[in-house]
């Protein structure tokens, strides 16, 4: 049984990606899951000047937290066919603490959006970048057209095909982190 850390890249208190994250983590019963709210951390916009002043306490907290867990579930939000500035900033800070901050981590990536691509560009970005930081993306899930395919009141996927897809991804991820 391996511990999983889960968080969302969005800084919105009403994030649809956070809702998807809760749906996914709620399906995992074989492993303990800890969810943290990155949006509540105080992480300033990265700059060389800020870095020279020292790493912010919440950046160190997040780095240390990630290092504690062998597996991660990360929901990435997409703005204009890219990851959000908030999430990119978090990655920038973490990569300055340690370029390989995801070293040895198995990662399930998830994304959703109101559009037909379901955050696919943000997922693609992370799939390319996370190995550079030492992480292994072993599974990913994209939910397109969030408002048509997700019941926000019940917190569940209502499209049968996407429901089967997320079950398959979560099952596979759970199996892969047992190894």
Considering the chain, what percentage of its residues have pLDDT values greater than 90?
A: 97
Pick the residue with more confidence: 39 or 178? 39
- The answer on pLDDT for 1 being more than 80 is no
Q: What is the overall mean pLDDT for the chain? A: 96
Task: Determine the structural domain holding residue 48 and report its residue range.
Answer: 4-178
The full length of the chain comes to 179
Can you give the pLDDT at residue 178? 87
- The answer on pLDDT for 106 being more than 90 is yes
Contact 75, 20 (CB under 8 A): yes
pLDDT tens column, 112-127: 999 999 999 999 999 9
- The answer on pLDDT for 101 being more than 70 is yes
Among the listed residues 51, 118, 128, 46, the one whose alpha carbon sits nearest the alpha carbon of residue 87 = 46
Instruction: Name the band, by pLDDT with cuts 50, 70 and 90, for residue 179.
Output: low
**pTM exceeding 0.85:** yes
Q: How far apart are CA 19 and CA 64, in angstroms?
A: 25
Q: How far apart are CA 49 and CA 47, in angstroms?
A: 5
Q: How far apart are CA 140 and CA 75, in angstroms?
A: 10
Mean pLDDT of 1-27: 96
Can you give the pLDDT at residue 52? 96
- The answer on pLDDT for 54 being more than 90 is yes
Cβ neighbours of residue 50 under 8 Å, at least 6 residues apart? Answer: 44, 56
Mean pLDDT of 45-74: 97
**Cα separation values, 104 from 26, 44, 109, 131, 167, Å:** 24, 27, 15, 10, 24
Instruction: Name the band, by pLDDT with cuts 50, 70 and 90, for residue 98.
Output: very high
CATH number of the structural domain spanning residue 146: 3.40.50.360
Can you give the pLDDT at residue 113? 96
**Cα separation values, 51 from 19, 64, 109, 163, Å:** 33, 17, 28, 43
Say if residue 125 is exposed, middle or buried (CB neighbours under 10 Å; 0-12, 13-18, 19+): buried
Domain count, the chain: 1
Determine which helix (DSSP H) or strand (DSSP E) holds 146, and give its type and residue range.
Answer: helix 146-149
């Amino acid at each position: 049984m391996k511990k999983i850390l889960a968080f969302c890249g969005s800084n919105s208190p009403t994030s649809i990606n956070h809702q998807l994250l809760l749906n996914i983590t709620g399906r995992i019963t074989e492993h303990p899951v800890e969810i943290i709210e990155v949006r509540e951390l105080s992480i300033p916009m990265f700059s060389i000047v800020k870095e020279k002043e020292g790493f912010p306490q919440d950046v160190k907290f997040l780095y240390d937290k990630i290092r504690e867990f062998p597996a991660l579930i990360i929901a990435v939000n997409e703005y204009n066919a890219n990851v959000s500035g908030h999430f990119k900033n978090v990655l920038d800070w973490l990569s300055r603490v340690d370029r390989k901050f995801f070293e040895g981590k198995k990662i399930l990536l998830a994304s959703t959006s109101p559009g037909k691509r379901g955050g696919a560009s943000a997922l693609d970005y992370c799939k390319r970048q996370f190995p550079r930081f030492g992480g292994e993306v072993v599974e990913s899930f994209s939910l397109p057209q969030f408002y048509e395919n997700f019941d926000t009141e019940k917190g569940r996927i209502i499209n049968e095909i996407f429901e089967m897809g997320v079950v398959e991804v979560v099952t596979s991820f759970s199996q892969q982190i047992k190894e």
